[in-house]
A and B are shown apart, each in its own frame.
Chain A
Amino acid sequence: MTIWINVIVQGVLVGGLYAMFAAGLSLIFGIMRLVNIAHGDLIVLAAYLALVTAETLGIGPLPALLIVAPLMALVGYALQRLLLNRTLGHDLLPPLLVTFGLSVIIQNGLLELFSADSRRLQAGAIEVATFPLSEGLSIGALPLLSFVVAVAVIGALQLVLYRTALGRAFRATADDPDVAQLMGLDNQHIFALAMALSLAVVAVAGVFLAVRANFDPAIGPARLIFGFEAVIIGGLGSLWGTLAGGVLLGVAQAIGAQLDPGWQMLAGHLMFLLVLAVRPEGLFPRVRA
């Protein structure tokens, strides 16, 4: 029995990480109706940036994050302003194909620079620290930390969206980009700021990915898929829903893995397909007026 409780707890905690993968994706889709196929690869890019920063400067993951997050935000601003803003419009193909091309470029660029070897960001003692809860049940410090950070990140995003002028600007531009301009908001700039924010979150997700597991240039698409599944399971338009979606995905994967290691990913996908079949709007969709 404790095995299963352990499994579920692990699933919940990794769900936080998935929610972090998803949060940036959800934000961008909500504000500009853009699904960034390169999202997962950008997470991996952030992981490599953190690795390089940590190794060159001889610092730990947290200080590295403080450097990588603003850097990724800048990358996001430039990416949106220079490239992705040109793809926005009514046509579906350009943003999809351009971000797909971007995904291929990032993956192969990383492959060129770093080779296909698995890498890991060292975090020191915290990697193995655990908190024993009861007989046979303990929680890893790192998984717990990533879950807490995920909740904090989503909380912070909610705060920005609903309690700040910037968030108001985001929501208004999402509602009606033309009228938003009449308020003095420059759409090009607003979208770029949104992407900058999204990539800042991606940076956090990337650092936790780098510390938690071995990574290599090819794992981007899987992170995109996990993030995407978390968003759909949780329901479009709701960040807390995305957290719930991530948790459910994590739990499904954990249960699958416990039954047979080869079933881990499959279990997650099946959970996604099940939600799609039975409740396609997701578990906690935000009802749009």
Chain B
Amino acid sequence: MLLEVAALDAFYGDFQALFGVSLRVAAGEAVAIIGANGAGKSTLLKSIAGLMRARPDAIRFDGVPIGVMPAHAVASRGIALVPEGRRLFASLTVEENLLIGGQLGRPGRWTLQRVYALFPALAERARMPAPSLSGGQQQMVALGRALMSNPRLMLCDELSLGLAPIVVRDIYATLPAILGQGTSLIIVEQDIAQALKAATQVYCLQEGRVALAGAARELTREAIAAAYFGV
């Protein structure tokens, strides 16, 4: 098991955002996490990525407890987060954003050339300032930046946010290639249809708790709707 989250709690000050969340990701898998706004999806990813503190053994990566590790240490172990809203470095160019993704120098198949091959639109815009790109292109940069660290697990937070459907489709079309190169995925999505297509396992969060978990192919519309809305 690549990633094991066990009874994870998360707090923003006094406010509890996650209540005993558990999930597992096997190597080579794509897992989707769906849920309404405020369900705790981003909080879950932030906890895994180390931006929020947790109990040491609440999160195990390759069997190693990482719950308490700071984000930069978690990144060096091979977990990369594609943050919600892209969050590119505004004063860096496209290429510089990609290069800094490779700051850690982790060995692997993803190089600048490979990323450009996956996202040709970026190669043309390498020297442009990152904020000058369209939303979809920025999302590609964010993905490429995460890939440059050759992660074993990539956490994608709302890839479709603010993007046109056709752009979303193009981005999701690249995910199989990423999986194929050996990076497992956790995909947080509001776009349920897209999430179900891209992933093998699905977890549905509702107000900080896991309301439903199962194989994407086996879950029924009704079950998902019930879990999503807490009906």
Contacts and interface: CB of A to CB of B under 8 A. Distances in A.
Contacts of A172: 89, 92, 100
Interface in B72-88: 72, 75-76, 80-81, 83, 87
B91 A175 contact: yes
B178 interface: no
B199 interface: no
B179 to A, nearest CB: 21
A185 B91 contact: no
Q: Interface majority SS on A: helix, strand, loop or mixed? A: helix
Contacts of A171: 89, 91-92, 96
B103 A183 contact: yes
A147 B196 CA distance: 64
Nearest to B71: A181
B89 A185 contact: no
Contact of A168 (B76, B92, B104): B92
A178 B76 CA distance: 15
Contacts of A187: 72
Contacts of B131: 289
Contacts of B76: 184
A123 B143 CA distance: 56
Interface residues of B, number: 27
A169 interface: yes
A134 B76 CA distance: 62
Contacts of B50: 181
B87 A168 contact: no
A181 B89 contact: no
A165 to B, nearest CB: 7
A192 B129 CA distance: 27
Contacts of B89: 171-172, 175-176, 179-180
Contact of B83 (A169, A182, A185): A182
Helix, strand, loop or mixed for chain B's interface?
mixed
B112 to A, nearest CB: 13
Nearest to B99: A168
A288 interface: yes
Contacts of A127: none
A55 interface: no
A171 B70 CA distance: 21
B137 interface: no
Contacts of A179: 83, 87, 89
Given A289-B90, A289-B131, A183 B100 contact: yes
Given A165-B99, A171-B92, A178-B51, A183 B104 contact: yes
Interface in A149-172: 165, 168-169, 171-172
9 contacts: A171-B92, A178-B71, A179-B83, A181-B75, A182-B75, A182-B80, A183-B100, A184-B76, A186-B72
